[in-house]
Amino acid sequence: MTTVDPARAVVDVITGTWRTQALYAAVKLRLPDHIAAGCGTGERLAAAAEVGPDAVVRLMRLLTAIGVFGGDDTTGYTLTPVSDLLRDGVPGSMRDMCLLYGEEFHEAWGATVPALRTGRSGFEDAFGRTLHQYLADEPDAGPRFLRAMNAGGSFFAEVANGHDFGTGTVVDVAGGSGMLLSSILLAHQGAHGVLFDREHMVQVAKEHLTTTVAGDRFDVVSGDFFESVPTGADTYVLSRILQDWDDRRCVDLLTTVRRAMRAESARLLVVERVVDEDGARLLPLLFDLHLMVMAGGRERTMAGYRSLLAAAGLRLESVRDLALETSLLVARPV
């Protein structure tokens, strides 16, 4: 067994946010895009990003040491598969996720102690309103948030291919960007889709679905899932939704969905991270705290999801693992 120097362990944890902010700075300054455009040396990168050459070389030295970039100042910096994903506009780009986590989410994490004390989200403490209110108020915040959500959506194809949507109607409740729904509709040519979300969020999905799926295969409906969702569909999807709410609100919204499920054969697909009873997997634990800080929400154990579903008249039927330690839970009406 190797012994870990406890002081070293503390320093390793403390410096975690420095990595985040170094990566954020590189993305904000578009260093991956400048390298892709041929600005390999520190001097050329500094000129392109309008920063000091010594500073940029020091930033690049750290990010190269942790595998984000390759090469060096003499031979020229290169992209690695990691920094390739940080370019603007490439398929699966994680640029917007880096920006959101480095800006608003970083600031909200600064209010972790008040969040622990009050039960209100750190985001509210930092920005004076909830995350969802902020998305409604701030021009461009909604589309930026949805692009960041897409970057963490590498499980979309697994959901689309991992369930038989048949030729029925699928309602993606609070479906955000529409990317999950388009993946489902492209994988199941006979299915019809309904994207449901808040009025201020649906424009992104409308544009995305219009360019990816034939116009007669989907509808976009706006509303509040605590009041009602489109009724009578064969499949309902709640992807990364329960995570934003406390148990009482989750039961409210699951009850709305349950009421909309008219047929015995209707199914609800829930996509969430599951906290292991023994806390084995780290990502669900990290996101559990992240959701407390961002939205006053949480990740749950399997028992937690079962009990929410049961309170709304639903029963868990199956579970499968997806990418990024996410799970697909399929529930049926009791």
Residue nearest to ligand SAM (CB): 176
H or E element in which residue 266 lies: none
For residue 201, state whether it binds ligand SAM (rule: CB under 6 A).
yes
**Which residue number, 109 or 225, has a Cβ lying nearer to ligand SAM?**
225
* Of the candidate residues 32, 42, 175, 284, the single one contacting ligand SAM (CB under 6 A): 175
Site string for ligand SAM, 101-130 (x = CB under 6 A): ------------------------------
Would you call 318 exposed, middle or buried from its count of C-beta atoms within 10 A (0-12, 13-18, 19+)?
exposed
Which of the residues 243 through 272 are near ligand SAM (CB under 6 A)? Answer: 244
Report long-range pairs for 58-62 (Cβ below 8 Å, ≥24 apart).
Answer: 59/22, 59/25, 59/26, 59/31, 60/26, 60/31, 62/22
Q: What does DSSP assign to residue 89?
A: T
**Which residue number, 77 or 156, has a Cβ lying nearer to ligand SAM?**
156
CB of 2 to ligand SAM, least distance (A): 39
Handedness of CA 280, 281, 284, 290 (dihedral sign): positive
For residue 104, the one-letter residue type is E
For residue 297, state whether it binds ligand SAM (rule: CB under 6 A).
no
* Of the candidate residues 124, 197, 272, 299, the single one contacting ligand SAM (CB under 6 A): 197
Which of the residues 42 through 71 are near ligand SAM (CB under 6 A)? Answer: none
For residue 193, state whether it binds ligand SAM (rule: CB under 6 A).
no
CB of 317 to ligand SAM, least distance (A): 21
Could you give the C-alpha distances from 257 to 166, 179, 240, 246, 331, in angstroms and in order? 20, 21, 15, 17, 12
CB of 190 to ligand SAM, least distance (A): 23
User: CB–CB of 126/110 below 8 Å?
Assistant: yes
Nearest Cα residue to 24 out of 122, 97, 107: 97
Q: Using CB under 6 A, list all residues that contact ligand SAM.
A: 132, 149, 153, 174-176, 180, 197-198, 201, 224-226, 239-241, 244
